[in-house]
Chains A and B, each alone.
Chain A
Amino acid sequence: MKAMTYRGPYKIRVEEKPDPKIEHPNDAIVRVELAAICGSDLHLYHGMLPDTRVGHTFGHEFIGRVEQVGSSVQNLKVGDRVMVPFNIFCGSCFFCARGLFSNCHNVNANATAVGGIYGYSHTAGGYDGGQAELVRVPFADVGPAVIPDGVDPEDALLLTDAFSTGYFGAQLADIVEGDTAVVFGAGPIGLAAARSAWLMGAGRVIVVDYLDYRLRKAEEFAYAETINFGQVNDIVRELKKQTGGLGADVVIEAVGAEADGHVLQHVTSAKLKLQGGSPIALNWAIDSVRKGGTISVMGAYGPLFSAVKFGDAMNKGVTMRMNQAPVKRQWPRLLEHIAAGHITPSDMVTHRIPLEHIAEGYHIFSSKLDDIIKPVITVA
C-alpha cells in the first residue's frame, strides 16, 4: 500500500509499505477514503515528540471502509463506512469504564501518561496512522462507528478529532450563560471551540491569533470578536481592557506546543526542543483569565517540562481543566447539532490534497501558505 512515511524532522515521503494485518482478534483493517492533517501532526513533523521513528505513518483523523475484520469483531462488517476516533481504546479498563477513553491503560505499552493515538509516535503506542491507503484499527467493536446516512464525509472526518476536540474544550471550560470566553488560537480546534462556546450559552466569544486570514474565519465561522495579538502591544493588557479589568470568565487554550508571540519561548521549544512545548498561549491564558475563572487546555504538548507561570495560576485561584478529548462520547450530540443545522464542521476545510502530494501539504500547512486552515488528504 501507499503510505506517508516520516524520514526525520521536516521530511516525509510517500512509500510502498506492507499492508497492515489483523494482529488481534478485535482488529479491523480499514481502507482509508479521507484523512486530514492535524495541527498536532506538525509537532511530529517538526521532530518535537520523543520516539517518533523513521518510517512512521502519521494521521489520526480518517474515515474509510472496513476491508477486513478479526475473529471476535461483532459490531462492524466488511464494507461498512466508518469514522474512527483518534483515540485507540479498549472499552473495559479502569479509565474506559469511566468514560475516559483517551486515557485507556490497555493500548499503549510505551507510556502510561498518554493513551493510544493513531500515527502519533511510539510515545502514543506505536500505531501507524491513517495517512495511508490502509490502516489497522484495534478494538473495532469499541472505537469506530458507522457513518450515519446523510452525513457529509468531510463533516464525519472533522468529528474524528478537530471539531470534537474543540467542542470538548468548550465543555471543560464550564461555561455558564453570559460568560465571556477567550479562545487562543484560530486553527481548527480554536474555531470549533469558539463555535461551541455559543452552544453552551456564552455571552461573548473573543478569538486571539496573529494570522489575519484565520481571524477572518473566526468572525465568519464562529461569530467571534477577534484580536490580532501581533497588532497590540500587550495581549494580556488588551484582554483586561476588553473585560472591564477583571479578565475573561473562561479561556480556552487551542494552540499548544508551537505557540508564537515570544521568540525565546518559541525557539527554545519548537526549534531547539529544549521544552516540551512553547507555553506562550498557556501563560497568556493564566494571565488573562479572571480570578476564580477556568482555563481549558486543548493544545497538545510534549512530555518534557515547559516554563509555565504556575504561581500566577495558583494566586488567582484558577481552575485548569484539560485532556485529550474522548471524541466518541461527543459524537451523538454533535451529530444532532449537524442535523439541526447548528454547525457544519467541514466549513473549515480549505485544501484538498492527494496522498501523493502530502509532503507539499505538510509544508504548506507548516508554513501557513495560501490561507490554509484545514487540509484534507484524499486517498481513495
Chain B
Amino acid sequence: MPYTADKPGSTPDPEALRARIPGWGSDLDPADRPAFPREQPGIETGAHWELPPQQSGAAGRERSVEHERVTPVFGTAQPLHGVSGAIRRFAYDRFSEGQTAHWLLLVAGDRVDAMTAHAASLFSKRPDDPITESGVTGEVAHRPIASRVGRGRIDLKHSWMDPILVVGPWVVAAVLGVKLVRAVFLPASKRGK
C-alpha cells in the first residue's frame, strides 16, 4: 500500500457508532473528561487543614531516606521485627529508592520473613498449611481441565513452574532441617549412612 497523507481505511460514521454504542462520543469534549487537564489546581478535596496533624508513633518508624520526615499519616499494619526487620531497616536507612540495593534488600527481607514465619508457625496452634493456603482446593468445582485444555492458553508453557514455587521451598527447608538435625545429633562417623 502506498503511504499518503490520508489515514488508511474508511472513516467511521459517527451516527452509526452513536446508534450502536451507548454513550458514544459523550466525552468527546475534553471539558467532559475529569482527568483533563491532568493537573487542576483548586479542586475541592474536603481537606480542612494546611498540613495534617502528625499521627503519633512516628519516632523510630522506618522511612524512605528521600523523605525529610515520617509522613503525617502512615501505615502501622506490620511493624518491623526480627531478622527480616533488620534487613528491611538497613534497606531503608542506607539506600534511597533510586538504588537497586534498596529494592533487592527488601525482596530479600520478604523471603526471610516468609521463611521465619513458616518455621514459627510450626510451633503455633495454627501451623501453615500449604494445601489450603495455596487455595488449590478451589480447583474442585471450577473446571480445572476444561479451563486449561484445548483453549490455546499460552500460559501453560510456564504455569507448570507454579507448584514448584509453592512446594519447592518447603522441600528445601525439610531437607536442610534433616541435614541440620543429623549434623547436630549424629556422630560424624555415622553421617552419610
Contact = CB atoms under 8 A, between A and B. Distances in A.
Q: Size band of the A side of the interface?
A: 35 or more
B26 interface: yes
B126 to A, nearest CB: 8
Contacts of A8: 113-115, 117-118, 169
Contacts of B115: 8
B3 interface: yes
Given A138-B73, A261-B154, A92 B27 contact: no
B24 A198 contact: yes
A92 B47 contact: yes
B72 A106 contact: yes
B153 A211 contact: yes
Contact of B3 (A97, A204, A230, A245): A245
Interface residues of B, number: 103
A367 B158 CA distance: 12
Interface of B is mostly: loop
Contacts of A107: 71-74
Interface stretch (A147-155, A182-190, A306-314, A335-343): A335-343
Contact of B27 (A100, A141, A201, A223): A201
B35 to A, nearest CB: 4
Contacts of A360: 135, 137-138
Interface string A263-282: 10011000101000000000
A168 B100 CA distance: 30
A105 interface: yes
B143 A53 contact: no
B187 interface: no
A200 B28 CA distance: 5
A50 B108 CA distance: 9
A201 B186 CA distance: 76
Given A141-B47, A371-B147, A53 B8 contact: no
Nearest to A117: B75
B46 A125 contact: no
A128 B58 CA distance: 17
Given A10-B134, A329-B34, A343-B23, A142 B106 contact: no
Interface string A104-115: 011111111100
A1 interface: no
Contacts of B11: 178, 203
A226 interface: no
B22 A342 contact: yes
A237 interface: no
Nearest to A101: B45
Contact of A11 (B50, B133, B138): B133
Nearest to B74: A109
B185 interface: no
A329 B147 CA distance: 38
Nearest to B39: A98
B1 A100 contact: no
Contact of B7 (A112, A244, A326, A364): A244
Nearest to A372: B142
A172 to B, nearest CB: 7
A96 interface: yes
Interface of B: 1, 3, 7-9, 11-12, 14, 17, 20-28, 32-36, 38-43, 45-53, 55-58, 61-64, 66-67, 70-78, 84, 88, 92, 97, 100, 103-104, 106-107, 109-110, 113-115, 117-118, 126, 128-130, 132-139, 142-144, 147-148, 151-155, 157-159, 161-162, 165-166, 169
